[in-house]
Structure 1
Amino acid sequence: MSFDIAVMQAFNGISLFTVLLLMSLGLAIVFGLMGVINMAHGELMAMGAYATYLTAKVCEQLLPGWWVGIYLFIAIPVAFGVTFAAGWAIERGLIRFLYNRPLDKLLATWGLSLILQQTYRSLFGAQEVSVPLPGWLAGAWEPTDGMQFPLNRLFIIALTAVVGLAVYWLLYRTRWGLRVRSVMQNRQMASAVGINTARVDALTFALGAGLAGIAGSVFTMVGSTNPGTGQLYIVDAFIIVVFGGVQSLLGTALSGFTIAESQTVLEYLMSGSMARVSILALVIVVLYFRPQGLFARRTRS
């Protein structure tokens, strides 16, 4: 493998990693920090993608002639806001009644995912919809003749870095993040010292949903959207969270990078289906010997 090909394969792995990380971060917060297995997380991603599509349509009507270049800066916050509100409503209207009933949570969110899929079919049809790529994201950066880095992928990488740093700051450098970690470690003690655990639960679940919305908005830059779009990434996102170690956001990031780079290299050497089978086999073997996850935090026994 030449140097140029190796660099391009590494870049492809990073591109896949960024999309998976945006999806997995929200899931890691909801599943890892709250213990909620949200089977509708993929449909929240699709909601963010459809919100981006609708924002583009509105901008096309209100800002004819130059909407293509700016709609993305409006669509990403809109996608986050819509899914954040949806996450808040789901937690307050459904999840909060099922915290001590894990199987019921699983079934309820799975049923919600089916309802959302059918809702998308009713509103947008079964066909795929897409949005135009802004002109400033078209083309590629070519540092050498053998290397091409698509501008839309570079933008996604930069956006993911900003979102990741913002989530880290929010959870580990703010009073709200301190409350979240307190509730996660000892809910009864957190409530005893005056923390509104119900409000923390709602905001945390809403944040995870909002991150899924950003992932959906990013997805529109690389593919079309249909009612089943969320199902494309939900399994990979769960694997990344479990493989990295539940309750570890750093583990989620390291796990996503490891899986994305491994899958990209294996897809270059063999077929796509065999690459996925190999990755799943590797994950199973690792979890057999380290059921707590490969990058789980050490705790006292």
Structure 2
Amino acid sequence: MGGYSSQELTAIFVMQGFSGLSLFCVFLLMALGLAIIFGQMGVINMAHGEFLTLGAYITWLVSELGTSIWPWMEHIYFPIAILAAFTGTFILGYLVERFMIRLLYNRPLDTLLATWGLGLIMQQAFRSGFGPREVSVSLPGWLMGSWAPTDIIDIPMNGMFVMGITFFITLGVVILLYKSRWGIKVRATTQNRAMANAAGINTQRVDRFTFALGCGIAGVAGAAFTTIASTGPTTGSLYIVDTFLVVVFGGAASILGTVVSAFGIAQSQSILEFFLSGSMAKVITLTVVVGILMVRPQGLFASKVRR
């Protein structure tokens, strides 16, 4: 393959595979939030990418505070930025559900158009507030550098940190959905809203918290994104199609399907990009995914729900 030795090919696959893991983490965090909103609530949130962008900009603001105004924060600002990104996007998501989404339930086309318009408004707000140019965070020293298990393999530290964040967020979502009282209420509302209301579950509160949580996780995805790329007003819109693809391919409302789908798509794109152009890698990946969905339209792991 291109004149590479077997040792060089092994190193290429390992390093591209780890690069794919960084992309996988962003895909998974985005898709987890979308799987909660789309899979559990049936809401098509076209502004989901803008919540990633908002989380990234919040991280950048905390980075600026930690490097310019409050130097004592320089080495500890990133965990604070992650919490701030989650909190900011969670609050905005709560308000969006309270004043817009709740009026559009069972109207998927209206929800799609409304959230698409919200996304455009947020993009313009980012341009007005932060400028049209992309911004980059100043990573603390402990996120710089790499770990070299061999002479020809270098694994960046920021990638390993993002993987750790993704693992704990995913574990937390699984515990919330399947091991908590709130998760029982969410699944009851998903399966039979009328019966859940009759059983005393405040389904409006469940919807509001579920939507806000999905947006908050997208904010964490934005914080993770700042470790691998710069952020601009339209950054989130570049990932929204891939994120919907991950959720649909894995199976709506299936956390396991979301993880498997995000891993497969991210790894395929990362490895193919080394040998082909980025656009061709995406075309091949999308072609394979669409082909599988034609055979299995319910996705890889369809959830069994009684309605």
Asked if Structure 1 and Structure 2 have the same fold, meaning a TM-score greater than 0.5 normalized by the shorter chain, the answer is yes
CA contact (8 A) 1:254 1:295 kept: no
- Correspondence 1:191-210 to 2 at 5 A: 191-210=197-216
Q: Find the counterpart in structure 1 of residue 157 from structure 2.
A: 151
Q: Find the counterpart in structure 1 of residue 3 from structure 2.
A: none
CA contact (8 A) 1:255 1:295 kept: no
1:44 equivalent to 2:48? Answer: no
SS at 1:149 equivalent: strand
Distance, in Å, in 2 between the alignment partners of 1:113 and 1:127 is: 18
After superposition, the C-alpha distances for 1:44-87 in whole angstroms (9 at most, x for unaligned) are 111101111122223345522x3221110110000000000000
After superposition, the C-alpha distances for 1:83-111 in whole angstroms (9 at most, x for unaligned) are 00000000000000000211110000000
Q: Find the counterpart in structure 1 of residue 288 from structure 2.
A: 282
SS at 2:150 equivalent: coil
Q: Find the counterpart in structure 1 of residue 261 from structure 2.
A: 255
SS at 1:148 equivalent: strand
1:15 equivalent to 2:22? Answer: yes
CA contact (8 A) 1:48 1:215 kept: yes
- Correspondence 1:128-207 to 2 at 5 A: 128-207=134-213
After superposition, the C-alpha distances for 1:184-221 in whole angstroms (9 at most, x for unaligned) are 11111101000000000000000000000000111111
Residue type at the aligned position of 2:188: S
Q: Find the counterpart in structure 2 of residue 84 from structure 1.
A: 90
Residue type at the aligned position of 1:18: C
After superposition, the C-alpha distances for 1:116-173 in whole angstroms (9 at most, x for unaligned) are 0001111111111121011011110011101100000010011100111011111111
Residue type at the aligned position of 2:237: Q
Q: Please, which of 225, 238, 245 is the counterpart of residue 244 of structure 2?
A: 238
Distance, in Å, in 2 between the alignment partners of 1:192 and 1:95 is: 23
Residue type at the aligned position of 1:192: A
Distance, in Å, in 1 between the alignment partners of 2:214 and 2:221 is: 11
Greater CA drift, 2-11 or 211-220: 2-11
CA contact (8 A) 1:87 1:206 kept: yes
SS at 1:129 equivalent: coil
Over the aligned positions, Cα root-mean-square deviation in angstroms equals: 1.5
How far did 1:5 drift?
2.5
Q: Find the counterpart in structure 2 of residue 24 from structure 1.
A: 31
User: Aligned pair in 2 of structure 1 residues 230, 36: CA closer, same or farther (>3 Å)?
Assistant: same
Equivalenced residue count is 300
Matched-pair identity in %: 57
Distance, in Å, in 1 between the alignment partners of 2:95 and 2:304 is: 35
CA contact (8 A) 1:23 1:237 kept: yes
Distance, in Å, in 2 between the alignment partners of 1:52 and 1:299 is: 38
Distance, in Å, in 2 between the alignment partners of 1:299 and 1:61 is: 52
How far did 1:227 drift?
0.5
Distance, in Å, in 2 between the alignment partners of 1:39 and 1:134 is: 33
SS at 2:138 equivalent: coil
CA contact (8 A) 2:191 2:306 kept: no
Q: Find the counterpart in structure 1 of residue 80 from structure 2.
A: 74
Distance, in Å, in 2 between the alignment partners of 1:12 and 1:205 is: 30
SS at 1:128 equivalent: coil
After superposition, the C-alpha distances for 1:26-57 in whole angstroms (9 at most, x for unaligned) are 01110111100000000011110111112222
